[in-house]
A and B are shown apart, each in its own frame.
Chain A
């Protein structure tokens, strides 16, 4: 077992997830099963192999190595204030309203 109950609690905290005790023990089991399977990657010697974060990096850059995805930084209309607030669970009419943020 690589992943312990302690690890699950720690990671759940990082991910802002609250797990019930039943969910915690199921998660210990599932994460161990899946991570155990991924261990096969260690059969491969990847010394000197560049990590690949995205496919774009292999064909998006031009001859100068710059991505054509970059455009001029010009202001343009975005989502309206009303549209942005429309799905909010709670607002004061201008801002999103949330519980106090002093204590986490």
Chain B
């Protein structure tokens, strides 16, 4: 049986293994062959974990041989963003400071995927400590967009999005602190879901900004996104911020039509700076949802323009605290021949961190320092409340909000790398979900999806806290309408 590895979905992979049309081992080998042939150009993977992948694949094949029922992700080849810990494997967070760091335990999301039968092919490239919007901040190498290798794949989960788009894996895990799953998904033409804050355990995630960090899937289809969320969601005693809100059956919910749903369209998302092709694509999505019987409601999110400055103060303040743990004492890079402890800290951090990480630590430390705390950090926290109220009021009137994922399609490598502020502004439509904790998904908007000529365009669906069901339903309708 000939499977198309570039378009394979979770359900199709599992079914092929269940019916013994292919073995899990052969499927993993097929993806490793594709990686070997093309990843030198793309740069999606930082390391491969063949031993672990094949051990898992063989377990699945034994189950299939015996005719035992297979777990939901049986034999599904996946990649993991390298900010998530994988026991016994090097976990770098895209940083030189963790170049030789071997994770002592598994992140809960990774463990749950493997318990459900997934095969871990390797660890995926990303911006250093997930700080970036283009993947050019990886300490190892930039990732190139498989749809156009002169362009960035987005960031920070650039490797995770590129691997799905290039057919190096069926699905991947990424993380999203300000858009880091949704923006690369939009740039690479795949589906990226940032779940509600607390929906998925962050245990074993190398923390960037703890009040904003999310773990979520990148996939080819909305259904695959729903399947993976069902596996990784739920309370984890090892993460006190994980929620015990019951996990619904997300795939069953996809059977429900979107007719009658009230869809909000915010005027603030369609102003100056939005690429006209993206605006046109989103308008088309809205018209098609209207044709399906959705009620389109014009709404206002008046504090939208304050989201980026709020985000970059809150995120960097939290990062400056989280990254204080990298001091060369217990793990990670240590500078040679430091005479004192203070010198060891300073030089280890100077040698280990890249320019963007230093910039954010500096910005965050400044915003938290005596004399500036009220003016910057506290002020940003108050505006965060206003942004949250915008959405709370909106969701009394609508069931979901449609927005662009990004203001422009994927930009060229090098185009924004010397202008941090321009880079930050590419997150303008995604950071509000992180600041307010609501779920958001990016799904390819334009006709042809993965195969359309020209750079991909992502449309974002935002929903109420813990209402991923509605978000996924609307996203699936968009996916079906796209054809």
Contact = CB atoms under 8 A, between A and B. Distances in A.
Partners in one complex: yes
B362 A38 contact: no
B346 interface: yes
A52 B381 contact: yes
Contacts of B386: 44, 46, 49
Contacts of B361: 15, 17
B439 to A, nearest CB: 11
Given A18-B350, A88-B330, A79 B359 contact: no
B362 A27 contact: yes
Given A96-B329, A104-B341, A46 B365 contact: no
B366 to A, nearest CB: 5
B388 A58 contact: yes
A18 B342 CA distance: 10
Nearest to A47: B382
Interface string A14-48: 11111100010011001101110111111010100
A103 interface: yes
Nearest to B378: A51
Nearest to B421: A33
A38 B330 contact: no
A56 B237 contact: no
A69 to B, nearest CB: 4
Interface size class on chain A is 35 or more
Given A44-B306, A49-B385, A56-B197, A98 B312 contact: no
B288 interface: no
Interface in B75-115: 100-102, 104-105
A101 interface: yes
A12 B350 CA distance: 10
Interface string B356-381: 00110111011001000000101111
Contact of B240 (A42, A69, A79): A69
Contacts of A27: 358-359, 362
B420 A33 contact: yes
Given A16-B349, A44-B306, A86-B102, A7 B366 contact: yes
Given A89-B328, A98-B329, A59 B340 contact: no
Contact of B346 (A17, A30, A58, A86): A17
A24 B436 CA distance: 34
Contacts of B167: none
B350 A19 contact: yes
A46 to B, nearest CB: 4
Contacts of B341: 98-101, 104
B320 interface: yes
Interface string B228-250: 00000000010011111000000
B262 interface: no
Interface stretch (B119-127, B128-136, B331-339): B331-339
A87 B331 contact: yes
Given A15-B320, A15-B361, A51-B385, A98 B344 contact: yes
Contacts, number: 181
A87 B102 contact: yes
A30 to B, nearest CB: 6
Contacts of A69: 240-242
A42 B244 CA distance: 38
A23 B346 CA distance: 14
Contacts of B339: 99
Given A11-B365, A55-B437, A60 B243 contact: yes
A24 to B, nearest CB: 10
A87 B332 contact: yes
A56 B241 CA distance: 7
Nearest to B438: A55
A52 B392 CA distance: 14
Given A52-B385, A89-B334, A100-B340, A42 B363 contact: no
B476 to A, nearest CB: 26
Interface of A: 3, 7-8, 10-12, 14-19, 23, 26-27, 30-31, 33-35, 37-42, 44, 46, 49-56, 58-60, 67-71, 79, 83-84, 86-90, 96, 98-101, 103-104
27 contacts: A8-B362, A11-B365, A11-B366, A16-B324, A16-B342, A17-B346, A17-B362, A33-B420, A35-B363, A37-B421, A41-B313, A41-B380, A50-B385, A51-B385, A52-B385, A54-B210, A55-B197, A56-B211, A56-B437, A71-B237, A84-B104, A87-B331, A89-B331, A89-B334, A100-B341, A101-B340, A104-B342
Interface of B: 100-102, 104-105, 197-198, 210-211, 237, 240-244, 303, 305-306, 308-310, 312-313, 320, 324, 327-334, 338-347, 349-350, 353, 355, 358-359, 361-363, 365-366, 369, 376, 378-386, 388, 420-421, 424, 436-437, 465
Given A37-B308, A52-B381, 16 more contacts: A7-B366, A16-B324, A18-B349, A31-B366, A33-B421, A35-B366, A41-B309, A46-B386, A53-B211, A53-B381, A58-B437, A59-B437, A84-B330, A87-B330, A100-B341, A101-B340
